[in-house]
């Protein structure tokens, strides 16, 4: 039986995919659980139209994400000022929240802190570091930033 998956199902397929499964599996599990619908001719047309519209939206989102990534990579001289002792040790540590705030203040780019990954261990000393920003699914931007004493 051909079905259209409404969400990802392990060992069967991914959302909006047309797959063939055994009749009993479709009728007794996938369809009653709301994981799939029957692949009728009208359902296939609706799926094709939805995929076409989603592809258009996806292209726009991807273009915006690429522009944001280029803007982040072009950002030079990103500095985070923090309190530090005489030997270069920071009181506390620098985390993604401070980095996101610095990006917003210095580059005027609003990035969610959960999309930022600081390479290495926690930042507890003054110096230059690298971070990776996951702008969109497979679009990443690597940026350098410097932690300085106030």
Query: pLDDT of the chain along its 150 residues, tens only?
Result: 999 999 999 999 888 999 999 999 999 999 999 999 999 999 999 999 999 998 889 899 999 999 999 998 888 888 999 999 888 899 888 999 999 999 999 888 899 998 999 987 788 999 999 999 999 878 899 999 999 998
Q: Do residues 141 and 76 both lie within one domain?
A: yes
CATH number where 90 lies? 3.10.430.100
Q: Which residues pair with 142 in a beta bridge?
A: 132
Q: Do residues 80 and 14 both lie within one domain?
A: no
pTM of the predicted protein model: 0.66
Domain-terminating residue out of 15, 35, 64? 64
From the list 81, 96, 95, the residue with the least C-alpha distance to 126 is 81
Domain-terminating residue out of 10, 45, 64? 64
Q: Do residues 8 and 32 both lie within one domain?
A: yes
**Looking at residue 107, what is its pLDDT?**
81
CATH number where 36 lies? 3.40.5.10
**Looking at residue 31, what is its pLDDT?**
96
**Distances, alpha carbon 91 to alpha carbons 12, 102, 128, in Å:** 51, 18, 17
**Looking at residue 97, what is its pLDDT?**
92
Element (H, E) at 58: helix 41-74
Domain-terminating residue out of 41, 64, 87? 64
Q: Do residues 91 and 136 both lie within one domain?
A: yes
**Looking at residue 137, what is its pLDDT?**
78
Q: Do residues 72 and 141 both lie within one domain?
A: yes
């Amino acid at each position: 039986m051909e079905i259209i998956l409404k969400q990802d199902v392990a060992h069967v397929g991914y959302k909006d995919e047309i797959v063939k499964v055994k009749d009993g599996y479709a009728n007794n599990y996938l369809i009653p659980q709301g994981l799939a619908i029957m692949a009728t001719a009208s359902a296939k047309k609706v799926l094709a139209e939805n995929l076409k519209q989603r592809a258009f939206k996806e292209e726009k989102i991807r273009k915006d994400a690429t522009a944001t990534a280029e803007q982040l990579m072009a950002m030079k001289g990103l500095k985070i000022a923090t309190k530090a002792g005489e030997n270069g040790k920071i009181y506390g540590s620098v985390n993604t929240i401070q980095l996101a705030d610095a990006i917003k203040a210095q580059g005027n780019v609003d990035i969610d802190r959960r999309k930022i990954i600081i390479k290495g261990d926690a930042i507890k000393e003054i110096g230059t570091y690298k971070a990776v920003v996951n702008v969109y699914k497979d679009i990443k931007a690597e940026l350098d930033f410097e932690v300085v004493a106030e």
